[in-house]
Amino acid sequence: MKITDITIDVIERSTAPVRVQDERADLGGTTTQGVLRVKTEDGLEGNAFVGDQAGDSTQRMQSIIKTLKPAMMGRDSSDREWLWSQLDVIAGHGSAIQPVWAPLDVALWDIEGKAAGQPIHKLLGTARTEVPLYATYPPRHSTPEGFVEEALQLKADGFRAYKIHPGPMSYRDAAVTATKVREAVGDDMTLMLDRNHGYTFREALYVGHALDENHYFWFEDPIPASDIEAIKELTVRLETPLNMSDTAGFLFHEAANFLQMNTVRLIRGTVRKIGITGLKKQMALVEGFQKFCEIGLAGNSALNAANLHVMMSSMNCTYFEYWLPKEVHQWGVTKQLEINKNGNLNALIGPGLGIELDEDWIASHKVAALS
């Protein structure tokens, strides 16, 4: 099916502000994001959303139209592997274009599923029909008591796993937080901690020992992903496995290098950065090293659905990341992902992504069109 047009509906939406207690920007407020539409000669339309949580995506949308659209016009919508192979050539001079390309790849998979009348996970090869999830908030507390209250509320709401974002609180307070949260929720709740690369080696080791003592499931991004020797040393000295990395520049080849150097026991990945095509490759690569690839937040409703399809086609990913508050990354579809009676997420069953665009909502928030 030849691609006949690629357009983006630019939308503006507003959410309540979410104060983030670390080095990253706050979430919420008015943001600019996009609805990607890839049309074919057979009248099919593949969709994806452009935008991470509540960030402005104007530059990314412009790059899709100016750089990727000319390369894809007139090509077959199934040419995903060709596009993957040409990304470095299209980008030029070593620019990281994968996160810009990722929504386009998702839209092409959406077309493939719609043409076949099957959900994407069926095309990838279904391995399971539901997956567990963990809840997490951005860093929003400055005391251990705040995280204890958050954990207890999530447990009362039915969540069985929780990831702490301690933010810039001192590493000693983070260790205390890890212990107090475990004491509060007991042993029947899975716990993780993610510092977003904010510790030194010694700080990470101190916090890591607290995680070991309290049986945490993983220790995510404790130090910068560039500090390879320190990462290796932490992996050797801690029982809690390191999980890396959510940094923007950690893409497919960076994951491969980490595996080759045996730096960590868990690898991070998401459709948001490397598309369905890249993430499925990465899942298989990680499996070859007998490790797990834990998929992170995709940042919007369409890409979250794409992440879920990849998870349903793989067994070496434990949890779906369920960010709160939901409104910062859920928008533009008639029905959001729902937690089932088992506390898990079901596989989507509709063709393609298995989502339905809320065209009325999109029309009411549309401020421009890119073509």
Residue 301 resides in a domain? yes
Residue 274 resides in a domain? yes
User: Is the same domain home to 103 and 66?
Assistant: yes
In the predicted structure, residue 23 carries a pLDDT above the cut 60: no
CA atoms of 90 and 97, how far apart (whole Å): 8
Per-residue model confidence as pLDDT tens digits over 259-288: 999 999 999 999 999 999 999 999 999 999
Residue 293 resides in a domain? yes
- Structural domains of the chain, count: 2
Q: What is the dihedral of CA 23, 52, 248, 162, to 10 degrees?
A: 70
User: Is the same domain home to 154 and 282?
Assistant: yes
* Mean pLDDT calculated for residue range 19-33: 70
Q: For position 339, which CATH number holds? A: 3.20.20.120
User: Is the same domain home to 238 and 103?
Assistant: no
Average pLDDT, the chain: 94
CA atoms of 297 and 24, how far apart (whole Å): 16
Residue 232 resides in a domain? yes
**Residues whose CB falls within 8 Å of the CB of residue 116, separated by 6 or more in sequence, listed in order:** 122, 123, 351
For 21, the domain range is 3-117+357-370
97 falls in which pLDDT band (50, 70, 90)? confident
In the predicted structure, residue 34 carries a pLDDT above the cut 80: yes
Query: b/e map of 207-233 (b: 16 or more CB within 10 Å)?
Result: bbbbbeebebbbbbbbbbbebeebbbe
In the predicted structure, residue 54 carries a pLDDT above the cut 70: no
Per-residue model confidence as pLDDT tens digits over 299-342: 999 999 999 999 999 999 999 999 999 988 899 999 999 899 99
Determine which of 22-31, 150-159, 331-340 has the lowest per-residue pLDDT on average: 22-31
User: Is the same domain home to 48 and 190?
Assistant: no
pLDDT of residue 277: 98
CA atoms of 285 and 293, how far apart (whole Å): 9
Residue 352 resides in a domain? no
88 falls in which pLDDT band (50, 70, 90)? confident
User: Is the same domain home to 112 and 129?
Assistant: no
CA atoms of 69 and 75, how far apart (whole Å): 10
Pick the closest to residue 60 from 10, 106, 18, 3 (CA basis): 10
pLDDT of residue 90: 86
CA atoms of 266 and 45, how far apart (whole Å): 36
Per-residue model confidence as pLDDT tens digits over 210-225: 999 999 999 999 999 9
User: Is the same domain home to 212 and 185?
Assistant: yes
Q: What angle do CA 196, 194, 199 make, to 5 degrees?
A: 55
In the predicted structure, residue 22 carries a pLDDT above the cut 60: no
Strand ranges, E, within 110-196: 130-136, 161-164, 190-194
CA atoms of 108 and 83, how far apart (whole Å): 11
User: Is the same domain home to 233 and 321?
Assistant: yes
User: Is the same domain home to 110 and 230?
Assistant: no
Phi, psi for residue 292 in degrees, rounded to 5? -110, 145
pLDDT of residue 67: 93
Q: Is 354 left (phi over 0), alpha (psi -120 to 50) or beta?
A: left
Per-residue model confidence as pLDDT tens digits over 100-133: 999 999 999 999 999 999 999 999 999 999 999 9
pTM, 2 dp: 0.96
For residue 325, cis peptide bond before it (omega within 30 degrees of 0): yes
Q: Give the CB-side neighbour count of residue 167, counting CA atoms within 13 A.
A: 20
pLDDT of residue 327: 86
